[in-house]
Amino acid sequence: MDIMERIPTHVEGLDENMQGGIPKGHICIVAGASGAMKSSVTFSMLYNAVLYGETSGIYVTLEQGKDSLRAHMSNMGMNVDDPRVRNRIAIIDLSDLRVQLDEQGMSNRVDWMGQLIKQLTNYRKSIGFELLVFDSLGAFFTLTKMENPRDEIFRLFEAVRRLELTSFFICEMTGENHRQFGEYGVEDYLSDGVIHLVMDRKEDDVQRKLGIIKMRHTRHALGYKPFNWKQEEQRFTVL
Ligand SMILES: Nc1ncnc2c1ncn2[C@@H]1O[C@H](COP(=O)(O)OP(=O)(O)OP(=O)(O)O)[C@@H](O)[C@H]1O
Ligand SMILES: [Mg+2]
């Protein structure tokens, strides 16, 4: 018997092979190379979760500005102006953090992780959101020039656990044969789930594939399956 409450990903073909979804409260890594559709996949999960469920979420963007993110999702066919989406997904744009920091001349003196955790805690109390997307961990550490990312990741994950959020942390994977799911070598151990998006190249053809590397408390299919976006249905499908 499955006693876990689960959050469906709304990715067709994925939930069916994952006992219905991601256990509530899990911290998941969504890892992949540039352009692997990390932002699109996670945003679509949030988007469909608020359209088909009672939940709400926060999308923290550091990589890409809020307008660019909204334009991309709109181009994908998602209705970002739907009142339910507007009211239930807060996009928090931290992409100009570096500029703010430099203007104040205090980039090195602020406890940015502490500030971030405080913000998330406030939002949790005031708007009661349940889902969190953090896009991306790497961008946050680059912007804030944190000295000990490993300890800071630990601190962030602990805080997110205490807040009982179900979360997705986007991690870039660089280089051809990168086998590590996060940049700092601890993200995958500290998380409950790892979703890996790859662009599989055979000569001139490239196929997008998705693999669940781990998902605690879940019986899930292994292996990489091709996936694509169904524009009319506004969801991804794993073949
Ligand atoms: N309407 C569309 N339908 C399907 N795919 C699209 C559409 N519009 C853009 N794309 C694809 O989406 C890709 C970008 O997706 P996304 O921004 O989610 O990737 P990412 O992994 O977050 O990239 P980055 O590393 O830049 O953050 C584009 O490179 C393009 O191939
Ligand atoms: Mg992205």
Q: What is the pLDDT of residues 9-27, one digit of tens each?
A: 999 999 999 999 999 999 9
Q: Which residue has the tokens 């292994």?
A: 222
How far is residue 149's CA from residue 127's CA, in Å, rounded to a whole number? 29
For residue 209, is it within any domain? yes
CATH code of the domain in which 217 resides? 3.40.50.300
Å from CA of 177 to ligand 1 middle: 21
Any ligand 1 atom below 6 A from CB of 235? no
Range of the domain at 147: 6-238
For residue 174, is it within any domain? yes
For residue 45, is it within any domain? yes
Q: Are 20 and 59 in contact (CB under 8 A)?
A: no
Pairing of strands 224-230, 235-238: antiparallel
User: Which H or E run includes 116?
Assistant: helix 112-127
For residue 53, is it within any domain? yes
Asked if residue 108 has pLDDT above 90, the reply is no
For residue 140, is it within any domain? yes
Ligand 1, from 30, 40, 173: best to mutate by most atoms within 8 Å of Cβ?
Answer: 40
Cα 133 to the center of its chain, rounded Å = 4
For residue 1, is it within any domain? no
| Average pLDDT of the residues of the chain | 92
For residue 90, is it within any domain? yes
Nearest CA to ligand 1 atom 11: 37
Give the model's confidence band at 97: pLDDT under 50 very low, under 70 low, under 90 confident, else very high: confident
Residue 182's nearest CA partner among 42, 28, 26 is 28
Any ligand 1 atom below 6 A from CB of 136? no
Specify the number of domains making up the chain: 1
Asked if residue 176 has pLDDT above 60, the reply is no
For residue 50, is it within any domain? yes
Ligand nearest to the CA of 41: 1
Give the model's confidence band at 142: pLDDT under 50 very low, under 70 low, under 90 confident, else very high: confident
Mean pLDDT of 47-72: 95
Asked if residue 106 has pLDDT above 90, the reply is no
